[in-house]
Amino acid sequence: MIEVRGLTKRYGDRTAVDDLSFTAPAGQVTGFLGPNGAGKSTTMRMIVGLDAPTSGTALVNGKPYAQHRAPLQEVGVLLEAKAVHPGRSAFNHLMALAYTHGVPKRRVEEVIDVAGLHDVAHKRVGAFSLGMGQRLGIAAALLGDPAVVMLDEPVNGLDPEGVRWVRELLRGLAAEGRTVMLSSHLMSEMAQTADRLVVVGRGRLLAETTVDALVEQSEEKGVRVATGEPARLRSLLAAPGVTVTSTGAERLMVSGLDTRRIGQVAAEHQVPLYELVTESVSLEEAFMNLTQDAVEYHSSDTRRAA
């Protein structure tokens, strides 16, 4: 388990993390989300002792990271995949980590196979693609067979097969009872991987919830309807509190009525329907709604649209 309590980090007059508290429990995948500059990387660095907090605590399985006798076997971390000497082979990089942490050679061979690096294990890391570097970083995080795995942007640079591999790997680790925490900007992937979400903005906690709950708390878009008689159906649905907009030659978007009522009206007046679907917001849209006031860097188009 990861427990963050009142964590604060200041750099001069800038506060990167502001009184942040959350928990990443065992047996679940916790997604750590936030816009650029939200304090995610700083928080993850403080959890593993790379940055000292101004105040507050970060505990891994009940202790600060530095107090564990065998940290690599408590928490496996990927924060920067390219933080490897480019002249070393993948095998030698992992062996160096293994020697310093009392990890046997067979475990190095195991994580090389798990990460799909067997064919390039003895090639120089400097020649690795971004995706291969990510696989090596994940292999290093798994080297100590840790109870806690914390990964920053683990699917960055991976092809679709690699993305699916990471998803299944993390879900499998959580199913074994391990704590899994990952940061990613890919909302579609987070929706398929995470059980829980911790959302931060400007260094502060915005939400600690489940994926489903975050989506459900956002308003539905409405009901998407396809019909051969859009003008007639639009007239039949007209009522106070009901909004009907045209989204195509035979498509309408209806808000203020559910699918059941729309279907009843259409049936009563013999209006043929080809499609009748409730459209809910995606995780990406729910995230954007939640963090819209906590984004530090706006494109010019976004400002004009606002």
Query: At 71, which CATH number?
Result: 3.40.50.300
The contacts of residue 145 (CB under 8 Å, 6+ apart) are 73, 107
- Tens digits of per-residue pLDDT, 1-51? 999 999 999 999 999 999 999 999 999 999 999 888 889 999 999 999 999
Question: Is 72 among the domain residues?
Answer: yes
Name the residue type at position 69.
R
If asked whether residues 103 and 233 sit together in one domain, one would say: no
What DSSP state is assigned to residue 5? E
Residue 237 falls inside a structural domain: yes
Q: What is the pLDDT of residue 15?
A: 93
Q: Are strands 148-152 and 75-78 parallel, antiparallel or unpaired?
A: parallel
Q: Judge if 128 and 66 occupy the same domain.
A: yes
Give the pLDDT of residue 219.
60
In a domain, 297, yes or no: no
Mean per-residue pLDDT, 134-144: 94
Select the more confidently predicted residue: 306 or 148: 148
* pLDDT, position 187: 85
Total structural domains within the chain: 2
Query: 35 and 63, same structural domain?
Result: yes
CATH number at residue 236: 3.30.70
Could you give the CA distance from residue 84 to residue 64 in angstroms, rounded to a whole number? 25
What is the per-residue pLDDT across 59-101, written as a single tens digit (0 to 9) for each?
999 999 989 888 888 999 999 877 788 899 999 999 999 998 8
Whether residue 259 has pLDDT greater than 90? yes
Residue 195 resides in a domain: yes
Mean pLDDT of 215-235: 85
User: Is 223 within 8 Å of 277 (Cβ atoms)?
Assistant: yes
The DSSP string of 172-208 is: HHHHTT-EEEEE-S-HHHHHHH-SEEEEEETTEEEEE
120 plus 266 within the same structural domain: no
Stretch among 47-51, 165-169, 189-193, 277-281 having the lowest mean pLDDT? 277-281
Range of the domain at 273: 222-279
On whether both 17 and 61 belong to a single domain, the answer is yes
Residue 188 lies in a domain: yes
Q: How far is 17 from 57, CA to CA, in rounded Å?
A: 12
Tell whether 182 and 135 lie within a shared domain: yes
**Residue 67 placed within a domain:** yes
245 SS3 class: strand
Predicted local distance difference test score (pLDDT) of residue 291:
75
Question: How far is residue 117's CA from residue 129's CA, in Å, rounded to a whole number?
Answer: 12
Under the banding of pLDDT at 50, 70 and 90, the label for residue 285 is: confident
pLDDT at 289 (0 to 100): 74
* Residues 251 and 290 sit within 8 Å (Cβ to Cβ): no
